[in-house]
A and B are shown apart, each in its own frame.
Chain A
């Protein structure tokens, strides 16, 4: 089943927001890497963080990822207007009855 994220978060420009991604012992808790994607309104998703905490070239340093136990987090420090988007986590799932890869339920970040 899907990884669990808060449906929405908001923050003023310059603030820090943190998005949680809660899984289980068959995915995040088993040590499988977590990846994060950003989907700007009306566009395709884009890779934001890979392998728990790595930023692809071109992704601003204000985006950072971490993982502990059965959860992962995406932090956006110094929130900017262009960060208003939907954010999704993703991981591999080893349970035989489900999909090989699962996405999070998604979090809409609003910049006040």
Chain B
């Protein structure tokens, strides 16, 4: 079974750093882009960007570029989303999802269960 399992909920103060993870299993991790999606409390889905685990190519949404960093560790089939200086407005659920290679401009499936990040002083 193809599965993405994300790390648990985190609570941080503004200005602190954080790295959350997304571990893939049941498929060849290097062959599929990983997409990150933000969902702020009570709001819709926002595409943050994606990373190609095999070559580490990255596409960031302009809305997130410079504030977050994507990375991967192929040896443990895990993708990471990192902040160096969190803001209260980063409070949200963050999802990772696998992008299909079956078609260009393809869909994402499956999704991880989400990681709740709370930033509060």
Contact = CB atoms under 8 A, between A and B. Distances in A.
Contact of A50 (B47, B106, B114): B106
A44 B35 contact: no
Chain A interface size, under 10 / 10 to 19 / 20 to 34 / 35 or more: 20 to 34
Contacts, number: 71
Interface stretch (B12-20, B55-63, B76-84): B55-63
B47 A106 contact: no
User: Which residue, A44, A56, A102, has most C-beta atoms of chain B within 10 A?
Assistant: A44
Contacts of A33: 103, 105-107
B24 interface: no
Interface in B14-48: 35, 37, 44-47
Given A97-B62, A99-B62, A100-B59, A47 B44 contact: no
B111 interface: yes
Given A35-B107, A101-B35, A45 B45 contact: yes
Interface string A78-101: 000000001010111000011111
A98 B47 CA distance: 11
Contacts of A97: 62
A2 B44 contact: yes
A103 B105 contact: no
Contacts of A39: 45
Given A90-B107, A106-B44, A45 B95 contact: yes
B109 to A, nearest CB: 4
Given A2-B44, A101-B47, A106-B45, A92 B114 contact: no
A103 B47 contact: yes
Interface of A: 2, 32-33, 35, 37, 39, 44-47, 50-51, 56, 86, 88, 90-92, 97-106
18 contacts: A2-B44, A32-B105, A33-B103, A33-B105, A39-B45, A45-B97, A46-B109, A46-B111, A47-B108, A47-B110, A50-B106, A88-B44, A97-B62, A98-B61, A103-B46, A103-B47, A105-B44, A106-B44
